[in-house]
Structure 1
Amino acid sequence: RVRPTLDPLAPRDGILVFGEVKKKIQVNKESLASQSPFFQTLFYSDFMEKNMIEIPIGDVEYEEFANIIRLIYGFDGASLT
């Protein structure tokens, strides 16, 4: 299987929601899944999140995850929401 590129302009097909204030990050599921077994399982296994557009993420702060997304996609200062 060819792994997708981490194109920061790839269409967003999922929204990760963080914390009680519901801060959101729009993501491309295939790109995240190609970089993380956690997201591969979350998006493509038989979990209810597989078919959800907005997916709550617990135990991780928004800013921490935003930094990971910036690192994965290789951009800084771009809007994540």
Structure 2
Amino acid sequence: MSEILANPTVQELVTNLAAGEINLTTGLVWLILAALVSLTGGAIGGMILAGKDLGYKFSAILGGIFGTASVIPATLVGLFVLNFLADL
């Protein structure tokens, strides 16, 4: 683990994330994190809403797909807006 953290590229990424800079790499990291959180939330929501009717596994799959499908475009638009506002 210490070898990974000692890598200059990883140190630069962590520094950019902590500083709040938005570039291509940090934007991709935020997009992946948003997709994972929305996937988890959509799966849980699908299980709560339609678990008894459709089955828990199937409703979790559908909830994960629909949750991620709505969050990815919103995250991209939000990152573009933040990047634009940071340049002003």
TM-score tier, shorter chain, comes to under 0.3
Relative to the length of structure 1, the TM-score reads 0.26
Rg comparison, structure with higher value: 2
Relative to the length of structure 2, the TM-score reads 0.24
Bigger RCO of structures 1 and 2 (CA < 8 A, at least 6 apart): 1
Structure in which a larger fraction of residues adopt strand: 1
